[in-house]
Amino acid sequence: MGMTMTEKIFARHAGVDHVVPGQLIRCKVDLVLGNDITAPPAIKEFDRIGKPVFDKDKIALVPDHFTPNKDIKSAEMAKSMREFAKKHNIKNYFEVGRMGIEHVLLPEVGLVAPGELIIGADSHTCTYGALGAFATGVGSTDMGAAMATGDTWFKVPSSIKVVLTGKMPRWVSGKDVILTLIGMIGVDGARYQALEFVGEGVAELTMTDRLTISNMAIEAGAKNGIFPVDAVTLEYISSRVNRDYISVSADGDAIYDRVINIELDKLTPVVALPHLPENVRPVGEVAETVINQVVIGSCTNGRIEDLAQAAEIIAGRQIHPDVRTIVIPGSQAVYMEAMAKGYIESFIKAGAVVSTPTCGPCLGGYMGILAAGERAVATTNRNFRGRMGHVDSEVYLAGPAVAAASAIMGRIAAPWEVSL
Amino acid sequence: MILEGKVWRYGDNVDTDVIIPARYLNSADPKDLATHCMEDIDPTFAGNVNSGDIIVAGRNFGCGSSREHAPVAIKASGVPCVIADSFARIFFRNAINIGLPLIELGTAVAEIDNGNIVKIDLDRGIVENVTKGKEYKVQPLPEFIQKIASAGGLINYVKGDC
């Protein structure tokens, strides 16, 4: 019996020939990730075990959520992670000034390769499936234990095959693909399951599109969201990954729990209404919604192509006088490239602010908190009640093009309303 | 172990952001977290929950962020067990890992109302709605997960293991 991509990666890391859905297995991990919120409790749990770290080169620590430190308590948490990194000589600790939003940063610096198995104490760790890796979010205790043992337990998930066909229309991006899928299957539509994206349409997707799609697999409840390794993947990692890796592909007779077809040609820019990512509507249906804030960035949409799409709409125009627009490049490299390409100047001239990389407003941390009754369009990943601030504020999720157009219009707007 | 308590009833897709909003994540102290537990879905919870009370919810409880602070806040509130139709997977892992028992009861949760008294026999896998006089049999957890639970969480389990 054949195996899916996810099953193959699990089998290899469990040291067995074959696994089946439902099986409980223990797997070696290639990388363990934590951030300034989740690592401090993980370090406490790690210390209780009383063992050294399993491999100082296979732990990544990224202060990105409440950093640059937003208050004293956050500073203390960042400090505890920094001290742990120093004490254990952790190679991949990224200090403020070199850090980026973890899921933008790690692929960018070559810490993710096809076929690898990565766990991170952050739910959006599933982003790395875009490179043909198995990656999933865990909690702090799992992270703390894995830092000592170098392995963790899994229940092998069944897989859903998502078949992509056709070509992407103008102004449709990876965000619209994943929001459309979540709208189809719901926020628990892939609960405990793997999403495997296949089909001729995959070749149409840039690595940025794929990273955005895999990033939000968790918003459908999925354990991971994985893409095949193709020319786009190999091109992306060619200048980044210089260690050996073993990429996998699904067998022709692999078993899938179900198959979902998405025709890319038929997609349109969409928006997810409060307070669940499954409340997906075509942008035209909500175009009269007046907004107070726009956030462009996050681990979902903070990459250079995302900023390019926003800049294409914003350059030479003015942000609506009633809208605060916050642009957050996902890493220092993204920031530098956006400067070199003139995007940053375009944003600032238009009346937007540009922040250093941080998760900040996405989780209601800082750098753009909403007051009661306020409404934001954000390229982030969650629109739960109170997610970006006051419990009576609202977040509308969209891709960079809709977010940029909305910033100009002062209401939710389609890109073609602004840019022809 | 037998648990008996009053039910705090919530709906579907209770996310970890409403269980413990991110604005309180600059502390990982369980007592601090408990004072804000469920704040954005039920501001009356933290001030009124009694030790032994039980949370009962619908589908996909604990979806969203991987923050372990969510089950920690619930446990530190004195809630010894959460019953739901279904749980989001990271929350499920986290709860087991920190020693907060969960019961996946399926659609039968619809018969449990706010304020009901429920009695749970964790070892025998039985949930009884004392108020309504109804009893439900629960699927036991896989043996491996039971071992983590009975060790008092993952760290104790790992300590005994490596």
**Which chain B residues are within 8 Å of A35, Cβ to Cβ?**
none
* pLDDT(B44) > 60: yes
Residues 367-396 of A with CB under 8 A from B: 382, 384-387, 391
CB contact under 8 A, B22 and A365: yes
- B159 neighbourhood in chain A, CB within 8 Å: 48-50
| Tokens read off for B88 | 């989001």
Structural domain boundaries in chain B: 2-159
Query: How is the beta sheet containing A375-378 ordered, strand by strand?
Result: A280-282, A270-272, A394-397, A375-378, A293-296, A324-327, A353-354
By CA distance, what is A66's nearest residue in B? B26
Could you tell me if A359 lies within 8 Å of chain B, comparing CB atoms? no
Element (H, E) at B121: strand B117-121
Q: How confident is the model at residue A18 (pLDDT cuts 50, 70, 90)?
A: very high
Pairwise CB contact (< 8 Å): A188 & B88: yes
Residues in chain B within 8 Å Cβ distance of A51 = 162
- Check CB contact of A322 with chain B, cutoff 8 Å: no
Task: Look at residue A358 and give its three-state secondary structure.
Answer: coil
Q: Per-residue pLDDT for B162 more than 60? A: no
8 Å CB contact of A139 and B66? yes
A226 token code pair: 């994985």
Answer yes or no: are the C-beta atoms of A161 and A198 closer than 8 Å: yes
- For B2-159, give the CATH class: alpha beta
Instruction: Select the residue from B18, B42, B89 to test the A interface by mutation, using most A Cβ atoms within 10 A.
Output: B89
Q: Compute the mean pLDDT over every residue in chain A, rounded to the nearest whole number.
A: 98
Maximum pairwise Cα distance, chain A:
62
d(CA A130, CA A84): 30
Report ipTM (2 d.p.): 0.96
Q: How far is B82 from chain A (nearest CA, A)?
A: 18
Q: Which of B65, B104, B156 should we substitute to test contact with A (largest number of A Cβ atoms within 10 Å)?
A: B65
Q: pLDDT by residue (tens digit) across A120-166?
A: 999 999 999 999 999 999 999 999 999 999 999 999 999 999 999 99
A121 in reach of chain B (CB within 8 A): yes
| Range A36-65 average pLDDT | 98
A-facing residues of B in 55-114 (CB < 8 A) are: 59-60, 63-69, 72, 86, 88-90, 93-94, 97-98
Confidence of residue A198 (pLDDT cuts 50, 70, 90): very high
Taking the Cβ of residue B159 and every Cβ of chain A, the question of whether any pair is shorter than 8 Å is answered with yes
Q: Which residues of B touch A137 (CB under 8 A)?
A: 66, 90
pLDDT at A209: 98
pLDDT > 90? residue A207: yes
Sign of CA dihedral A377, A383, A388, A390: positive
Quick check: A137 and B68 CB within 8 A? no
**Domain annotation for chain A: domains and CATH numbers:** 5-263 (3.30.499.10), 271-418 (3.30.499.10)
Q: Which residue of A has its CA nearest to B89?
A: A192
Residue among B26, B38, B73, B160 at smallest CA distance from A74: B26
d(CA B34, CA B47): 10
> In terms of CA atoms, which chain A residue is nearest residue B90?
A138
Average pLDDT of span A217-231 = 98
